[in-house]
Chains A and B, each alone.
Chain A
Amino acid sequence: MAVLVLPKVLWERVVAHCLDGLPLEACGLLAGVETPGGVGPGAIGACSEGAGSEGAGSEGAGSERAGSERAGSEGAGAARPTGVGPGPIEAGEARAAEVGAGWLGANGERRRHEDLTVAEVREVYPAANTALSARLYTVEPKDLLRADRAAERAGWSLIGVWHSHTHSPAYPSPTDIAAAPDPLWHYVVVSLSDTEPVLRSYRIVGGQVMEEPVLTRGLPASELNW
């Protein structure tokens, strides 16, 4: 089994990229989320005006809402911080105009046990959707090359891809399954079809889809035996 570790700060960036196109107030969903080790929210794409500027610490704009419930989502299962900021996307509210997509960079995978590997995402690389579609995505090959080079410079590699489903659940579509290029990659799907974004991750091997747990905070070093 594989486990994908996607720290909350990166979870936020992925979701923000997928929400691109929503009204800024909806981006409050991203404010007030606790970040590991006090790391700020960093670049939050379309939400930069409303949810803290790039490089802001955890006491940034989002902290005004910090009194609200903070629901961590550590542990196995879909990463889904809830109860933060104004929260849900209102029913009927405008959805992201296009599918969002990008890549996950990590320092490979660590084998914890014979049957358990852990990949901790260290950076995410958003891409433009050249399909300009709310249903499909394609990416500019040069974006992929840039992401690959950036990951390589940091000593990492691309270990997966994410994209959003603007109108369907967080499960790979037949198109996703048919187009999945690498059985070793992690395929993250973010659904915007419900009242809150739902992020899940999968392996796709020979057309078979296997969900894997997503942790939004890294495992303790003592647990990982790194």
Chain B
Amino acid sequence: MPVEVRLPTVLRPLASGEAVVKVEGDTLREVFQDLVRQYPGLSESLFTPEGDMHRHLNVFLNDDDVRYLGRLDAKVGAADTVTLMPAVAGG
């Protein structure tokens, strides 16, 4: 199922400079896996060594935070947009 993924500036160098990438997947995990298949350099930014979603990443499925949709198990539909954004913190 085709899904559009929007990448933040910090990840674009790892995806040949692309801001928007088309991938396939029925879940967020599959979307990420296809993203990594196309751009292997993204792997460490998306996944922890244990295979979980990276905690420094904010991920939205359309307007919804995937933390409330099952994280990597979130269902993704046709024409959905996945937006990745870096976590922002400091002090």
Footprint of B on A, CB under 8 Å?
99, 101, 103, 131, 133, 135-139, 141-142, 144-145, 148, 157, 161, 163, 165, 172-173, 175-176, 179-185
Residues of A within 8 A of B91 (CB): 99, 131, 133, 135-137, 163, 165, 173, 175-176
* Bound CA span A220–B40, Å: 44
> Is B43 located at the chain interface by the 8 A CB criterion?
no
How many of B's residues come within 8 Å of A, CB to CB? 17
Point out the residues of chain B lying under 8 angstroms from A103, CB to CB: 88
Contact of B85 among A144, A165, A183 (CB under 8 A): A144
Q: Indicate if the CB atoms of B63 and A136 lie closer than 8 Å.
A: no
Which residues of B are in contact with A by a Cβ distance under 8 Å?
A: 8-10, 56, 58, 60, 63, 65, 67, 83, 85-91
Q: Would you call A148 and B90 a contact (CB within 8 A)?
A: no
Taken together as a complex, chains A and B put the C-alpha atoms of A101 and B87 apart, in Å, by 13
| Pairs across A and B, CB under 8 Å, 19 listed | A101-B88, A137-B89, A138-B88, A139-B88, A139-B89, A141-B58, A144-B58, A144-B88, A145-B63, A145-B83, A148-B85, A163-B90, A172-B90, A173-B91, A175-B89, A176-B91, A180-B90, A181-B56, A182-B86
Identity of the chain A residue whose Cβ is nearest the Cβ of B11 in the assembled complex: A182
Q: Is the CB of B8 within 8 A of A136?
A: no
Residues of A within 8 A of B83 (CB): 145, 148
Per the bound structure, the CA–CA distance linking A157 and B10 in Å amounts to: 13
B8 adjacent to A179 (CB under 8 Å): no
A141-B60, A142-B65, A145-B83 in contact; A184/B90 too (CB < 8 A)? no
Check B90 against A136 for contact (C-beta < 8 Å).
Answer: yes
Q: Bound complex: CA of A173 vs CA of B89, how far in Å?
A: 11
Give bound CA distance, A165 to B91, whole Å.
Answer: 7
Central interface residue in B58, B67, B86, B91, by most chain A CB within 10 Å = B91
Chain B residues positioned under 8 Å from A138 (CB to CB): 87-89
A137 and B90 within 8 A (CB): yes
The smallest beta-carbon distance between A141 and chain B, in angstroms, is: 4
Docked complex Cα distance between A111 and B60 (Å): 32
Q: Are B90 and A182 in contact (CB under 8 A)?
A: no
Known: A145-B65, A182-B8. 11 other contacts (CB 8 A): A131-B91, A137-B90, A137-B91, A141-B65, A141-B87, A144-B85, A145-B83, A165-B91, A176-B90, A179-B89, A184-B9
